[in-house]
């Protein structure tokens, strides 16, 4: 069974998401961060469930979680979470 790891950029994305959501509702923040963690665990166990995003970079896949998208690569021992971005962002410019 694979696990998942967050890149520094993904950790920073999560911090930004947490700060943004906490201004609106702490309860919603906890729920959403739990949803993100559950999605990352799912990707670690089943890395093929996402959408191939080779137009961004070879080997990148994505998986939606609410209004956000988790971008990742499947490595030998773990899924590497590259970024967690809002779906309305200019995603190609980030990559």
Q: Cα–Cα distances in Å, from 62 out to 17, 28, 49, 50, 57?
A: 18, 23, 9, 5, 11
Average pLDDT, the chain: 92
Of 65, 70, 63, 66, the C-alpha closest to 85 is 70
Answer yes or no: is pLDDT of 11 > 70. Answer: yes
Alpha-carbon torsion (38, 50, 64, 58), positive or negative: positive
Q: Which two structure tokens, joined as six digits, stand for 45?
A: 């166990």
Q: What is the mean pLDDT of residues 54-68?
A: 95
Q: Under CATH, which architecture does the 3-88 domain have? A: 2-Layer Sandwich (3.30)
pTM metric for this prediction: 0.92
Residue spans of the domains in the chain: they are: 3-88
Answer yes or no: is pLDDT of 1 > 70. Answer: no
CA dist 90 and 92 (Å) reads 6
How confident is the model at residue 24, as a pLDDT? 81
Answer yes or no: is pLDDT of 23 > 90. Answer: no
3-state secondary structure of 93: helix
Q: Which band of pLDDT confidence, cut at 50, 70 and 90, is reported for residue 28?
A: confident
């Amino acid at each position: 069974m694979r696990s998942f790891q967050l890149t520094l950029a993904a950790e920073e994305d999560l911090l930004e998401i947490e700060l943004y959501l906490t201004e609106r509702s702490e309860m919603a923040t906890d729920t959403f961060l739990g949803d993100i963690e559950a999605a990352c665990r799912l990707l670690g166990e089943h890395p093929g469930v996402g959408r191939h995003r080779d137009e961004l970079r070879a080997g990148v896949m994505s998986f939606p979680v609410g209004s956000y998208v988790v971008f990742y690569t499947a490595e030998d021992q773990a899924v590497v979470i590259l970024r967690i971005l809002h779906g309305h962002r200019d995603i190609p410019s980030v990559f």
